[in-house]
Structure 1
Amino acid sequence: MESVVHTTMARRQLLKKLIAVAGVGTLSNLAFSQLVYALGKVPKPMGEGESIFRLRGKVRVNGELASEKTIVPANAVIETSDDSQLIFVVGKDAHLLRENSEVILSADAQQIETGAQLLKGKLMSVFGKREGNEQHTTTTTTATIGIRGTAVYAESELERSYVCTCYGKVDLTATDDKSSFEAIRSKHHDSPRFVLAKGETGKLIKPAPMLNHGDDELMLMNALLGLPAPFSALNDYTDIDLDY
């Protein structure tokens, strides 16, 4: 049993490092074959006519059961069920939607994603650079997250939300109390927060621990966008499982 555990851990560490290499487009033939072994497919920028990198279980896009061939539009309702997961790209953004989650994507006239309403569940997003007046806002049951070129992990529940600015800048506001506001600047999961549905005015945003997500996922999604992850791939983290 111990050798199996060690093999699994080594495989995940290999996956994490190879994803980072893929993100900057420098895979050797050896790394290519190792990555295929570790993940089953190579994380690379999605081609034209592609949206979904990984689909597990039953996932619906605009009410229809999705397959790996499904194109996810910039305006879409996406639902996952028990033990299901979707990793996908829409335009310049990449998302990971976990089990028992529902998100509504919205877009502008140019089909640039402008919003993600997380009605329930868990969503990780890596956002590409916005130009000029292009903006994106992610909302949960209790929080509004103004995106400024960043990566965010969010969990949406009735009584509170969890928001981690994995890196970058966000403006975080409690939905029902605009005086509960924080401008967050994060280099590496520096300022995770709970955002409460109820409580003292101006104090609905509370410090939180880092929960239920890891750098392997961020590196994977950066690779899908053709971007290098803005942190070292060689740091030793314990939260290296794609499934939480």
Structure 2
Amino acid sequence: MSQHALLDRTEAELLWFRRRHFIQAAAAWTAAGGFTAAHAQQRSNVVQLEGDVLLNGQRMRPDNFVQSGDRIDTGPGSTLVFAVGNSAFHVRQNSRITVERGATLNTVSVLRLLTGAVVSVWGRGSNRQIVTPTLTAGIRGTGVYTEVFAQENYRSYFCNCYGTVELAAGGERAVSQASYHQSYWGEAQPRGGRMLTPALAINHTDEEVEFVAALINQRTAWQIEGRRGVKDGSGYMDPGRNHPLTR
């Protein structure tokens, strides 16, 4: 298990990928051909649903199909794993998201996270964003973890687990290029005069990012390189390099 720090989350919540029913569901999803096959055969693109989840205000069923334009709400102890096009998502408990349409019905242009947390992996593409109340991330091909802390005036946490992301918060901008977890806060109020500040790596593991990536036949940067770095939020495999915002 990779190292990680917890903030308002439990260890059990981060170990969802170890549950037998998820492992079986993920294996069945991959063996059946993933999203392309599910769409062609008019099957559900839901990999795993647990607990009470609402789709556009209605109780969600495992055979439902999530498409762009939909709103998803997860209740306490509930999770949802699904794929749309070349992107895959794990929505944690007590989350609210909307999936906005891209160039086609099966392309996500904007993942809007209002509260809660999402692990997401995106294949290559353009004009895609993750939007929270305090932060916007322009997504290329990457794996990321995003969380909104409603109890802190919707302060947003964003980790670019690997890849390139263009970040904006309160008029400030930064380009994040990471091979191993580069983390940021999108502040609700300026801290030290800044709206975009460095963060530690919290509330997510390498393994869950790897599992979500596998749903779209993608490997993480550390899987490709065959090693893990120092998970301090700076974003690099090798120690001794500072976070871009502290240089």
Deviation at 1:168, TM superposition (A): 0.5
- Number of the residue aligned with 2:50: 56
Among 135, 145, 159, the alignment partner of 1:153 is 145
The one-letter code sitting in structure 2 at the alignment partner of 1:153 is Y
Deviations 1:146-183 (A, max 9, x none): 11111111111324110000100111111xx21x2211
Is residue 132–residue 156 contact of structure 2 (8 Å, CA) maintained in 1?
Answer: yes
Q: Does 1:117 align with 2:89?
A: no
Is residue 170–residue 183 contact of structure 1 (8 Å, CA) maintained in 2?
Answer: yes
- Number of the residue aligned with 1:219: 210
Assess, with a 3 A threshold, how the Cα gap between structure 1 residues 201 and 92 changes in structure 2: closer, same or farther.
Answer: same
Is residue 162–residue 220 contact of structure 2 (8 Å, CA) maintained in 1?
Answer: no
Matching of residues 1-244 of structure 1 within 5 Å: 39-41=23-25, 42=27, 44=30, 45-46=34-35, 47-48=37-38, 49-111=43-105, 112-130=107-125, 134-157=126-149, 158-174=153-169, 177-178=170-171, 180-189=172-181, 191-199=182-190, 203-232=194-223
Is residue 143–residue 213 contact of structure 2 (8 Å, CA) maintained in 1?
Answer: no
Deviation at 1:66, TM superposition (A): 1.3
Assess, with a 3 A threshold, how the Cα gap between structure 1 residues 50 and 196 changes in structure 2: closer, same or farther.
Answer: same
Corresponding residue SS for 1:204: strand
Larger displacement relative to structure 2 (48-57 or 89-98): 48-57
Assess, with a 3 A threshold, how the Cα gap between structure 1 residues 98 and 200 changes in structure 2: closer, same or farther.
Answer: closer
RMSD: 2.8
Is residue 74–residue 91 contact of structure 1 (8 Å, CA) maintained in 2?
Answer: no
User: How many Å separate the matches in 1 of 2:86 and 2:127?
Assistant: 12
Is residue 89–residue 118 contact of structure 2 (8 Å, CA) maintained in 1?
Answer: yes
Is residue 59–residue 79 contact of structure 1 (8 Å, CA) maintained in 2?
Answer: yes
Corresponding residue SS for 2:144: strand
Number of aligned residue pairs: 201
Corresponding residue SS for 2:139: strand
The one-letter code sitting in structure 1 at the alignment partner of 2:205 is G
Corresponding residue SS for 1:39: helix
Is residue 154–residue 164 contact of structure 1 (8 Å, CA) maintained in 2?
Answer: yes
Is residue 146–residue 172 contact of structure 1 (8 Å, CA) maintained in 2?
Answer: yes
User: How many Å separate the matches in 2 of 1:170 and 1:38?
Assistant: 29
Is residue 98–residue 113 contact of structure 2 (8 Å, CA) maintained in 1?
Answer: yes
Corresponding residue SS for 1:96: strand
The one-letter code sitting in structure 1 at the alignment partner of 2:160 is T
Deviations 1:87-128 (A, max 9, x none): 110111101110000001111352221001101010111001
Is residue 157–residue 183 contact of structure 2 (8 Å, CA) maintained in 1?
Answer: yes
Deviation at 1:229, TM superposition (A): 2.9
User: How many Å separate the matches in 2 of 1:150 and 1:121?
Assistant: 20
Q: Once the two structures are aligned, what percentage of the paired residues are identical?
A: 28
Gaps of 5+ in 2: 1-13, 232-247
Deviations 1:14-70 (A, max 9, x none): x88xxxxxxxxxxxxxxxxxx978823315124322311111100111112112211
- Number of the residue aligned with 1:20: none
Larger displacement relative to structure 2 (98-107 or 149-158): 149-158
The one-letter code sitting in structure 1 at the alignment partner of 2:167 is L
TM-score, normalised by the number of residues in structure 2: 0.73
